[in-house]
Every structure is written in structure tokens, then in C-alpha cells.
Amino acid sequence: MTTYHIELQGEILKVGFGNTQATGDRIVCDVAAKLDEMIATGEIPGGSLIKINGRISVLVSQVLGDKLGKVYNAIAIFDPKIGDKGLDRYVVTISRHPDYRVGDTLDVLRSQLQSNIKLVLCGFANTGKTCFRDGLKQALFQIPNVPESYFISGCPDGDGSWYSETARRDPDLAAELKAQYKAGFTPEFAKLKAQEVRGIDTPLFVFDIGGKISDENRLIMAEATHGVILVKDESEIEPWKVLCDELKLEVIAIVFSDFFGNNDVVESESPILRGRVHRLKRGEDVSQRPTVRALARLLVGLSKGSE
């Protein structure tokens, strides 16, 4: 099955999307069939509690809850936003077991051998950071055995990680939701977003920020480990490079965004990736662009090299 991956690793069921272009109806059918097979063969043995870790859509969560709820007395889901240093936290969502209540949090010691990558996509406004972020996410999902990844927006402009896919399918709905979710970039927002970034400890974590060099963005970026700078011309590089240096972020790529261009160019991959990406337009799938794919491969290499 290529649309969704399911594997039991000890007491944790690792899950995640495969073919990201598949629609929800196809995915839930594949998930149901795979779970039935794993339960029938004893690969998923059943018991008192199972923990689930990975990317789960609302549709998939319904199938997981139905199938696993018949063989386990309690189900707990990993929440990357409430982790702590060295710990993964799971929230109990279904329980018929006296030792577990819905809403309980369970701590699992994270492997200390893993050094996580927290990547910030930075640059001035209108460089296409949101579109680039979504394309990078899709490109990573297309790499076999890619480390677990997590993507969020670090700015309150309404462009969550859901936006590009929604815009491709229903532009009017995407615009309506964006307007509802858009909020002010306040110090309070920045503190909460920095706390969220700090608590997420997946092997690959990517977020973008607003298009200004500000105290708010500086606070959020300080939680990253690496940076990618998107620019429209050479003069935009230095201000963001200085900020990344101040925050001790390793800049791994500088990408020129050419909206009216016709092709990508990967100019160099060492010592940092430099290239051009064309037409970063909301709603378009840019995951096959050579520069986006080159960065995805670089991230996977960095993550696996730190294991």
C-alpha cells in the first residue's frame, strides 16, 4: 500500500501518508484493508493500550479509532505540540480501561541519539515562503523511508499548512478560511508560536515566518536550528543572513524566487544549496521543482546523518 504507511514498532503504531496525491476515499479504504490484515495475522495483537504516532487526517482517525478500538481498550495519540525535552507526550482519546481516562497524557522517553532538525524558511514578503513550504512538505513525502516530519506556519496570515492543498481543490473555500484565521502579529502570538516550535521534536520540523525582521520573528526563529533564506534579489540576502548568524542558525540554502521564470536552476549544493525556483503560486503543486526536491534530499541527508 502506497497511500498510507502503518507499522507497529514496539508499543507504538507508526503511521504516515505515502502517495500524497491520493484522495481521502482511496486512503481510508487502504487504511481499513491494511489494519484488517495486520489484525488478522497478529501483527497488531490487541491489548490494553496502543499509542499512535504520525500524520493523521480526520478521515484516517475515524478508521484507526474504529478498527483499533475493537482490539485495544485504550488509544493514545502523539501530540507534538505538548512534548517536553527528551519526552514525547501522548493524549488518551479512547478508553474503556480503568487505568486510562480520556484526556490523560502519557510520557514516552525519546531516543537521545536523535538530533532533530528545526528549519525556518525566512525572507521578506512576497517571496513565496508558504508555497515553498508546502512544496517541500510534499517533496519529502515522496522520498522512501523519509524521517518523520512536521510543518506549521509561524505567522498569523491564515496560510496554515492546509492552505495550498485546499486552494487547489476549492479556491473560494481556501480564501474564506484564510480570512477567518488571519490574526494580528502580536508579541503574545510570537511567544505562543515560539513555545510551540520549542515543544515539537520530530526529526524534521519546518516552519515559515512573516516577511519582516522584527522582534516577534526573532523570538520564533531563535527556536530553530537551521535556516533557508528565500529572496527576490541579491540585496535581500544579507539582512537575513545577519539575523541567522545572530541566532546561531546554520543557513543551509539560499533560494532565489522568480515568479515569472520558466524553470528552476540548482546552481550549487556545497557548501550550501543555492538555486532558483520559479512561479511559487498558491494552489500550485511545486513539489516536483528541482530546487524544492534538492532541498528535500538535503534535509533527509542532514537528518539521517545526525542519527
Q: Is the pLDDT of residue 118 over 60?
A: yes
Whether residue 257 is predicted with pLDDT greater than 80 in this model: the reply is yes
CA 139 to chain centre: 12
- The strands making up 72-78's β-sheet, listed across from edge to edge, are 4-9, 12-17, 47-54, 72-78, 87-95, 105-109
Specify the range with the lowest mean pLDDT, choosing from 35-39, 48-52, 119-123, 282-286.
282-286
pLDDT digits (tens, 9 = 90+) for 54-68: 889 999 999 999 999
Model confidence over 160-179: pLDDT tens digits? 554 555 555 666 665 664 55
197: pLDDT strictly greater than 80: yes
- Cα distance from N-terminal residue to C-terminal residue, the chain: 27
pLDDT at 282: 83
Calculate what percentage of the chain has a pLDDT beyond 70.
86
Q: pLDDT-derived band of residue 142, with 50, 70 and 90 as boundaries?
A: confident
Alpha helix ranges (H) inside the chain: 24-40, 58-68, 129-141, 163-169, 171-181, 187-199, 215-221, 237-246, 290-305
Question: What does the mean pLDDT of the chain come to?
Answer: 88
Q: Are 132 and 255 in contact (CB under 8 A)?
A: yes
Give the burial string for 101-124 (b: 16+ CB within 10 Å, else e).
eeeeebebeeeeeeebbbbbbbbb
pLDDT, average across residues 118-140: 95
The percentage of residues in the chain with a pLDDT greater than 90, rounded to a whole number, is 65
112 pLDDT higher than 60: no
Quote the cell numbers at residue 51: 499509542
The larger pLDDT score, comparing residue 236 to residue 184, is at 236
pTM score, whole prediction: 0.73
CA distance 228 to 219: 17
Output 256 or 143, whichever has higher pLDDT: 256
**pLDDT at site 185:** 74
pLDDT of residue 210: 92
> How does DSSP classify residue 111?
P
| Structure confidence at residue 306 (pLDDT) | 56
34-56 average pLDDT score: 95
Look at residue 228 in the predicted model and tell me its pLDDT.
Answer: 98
- Confidence class for position 277, pLDDT limits 50, 70, 90: very high
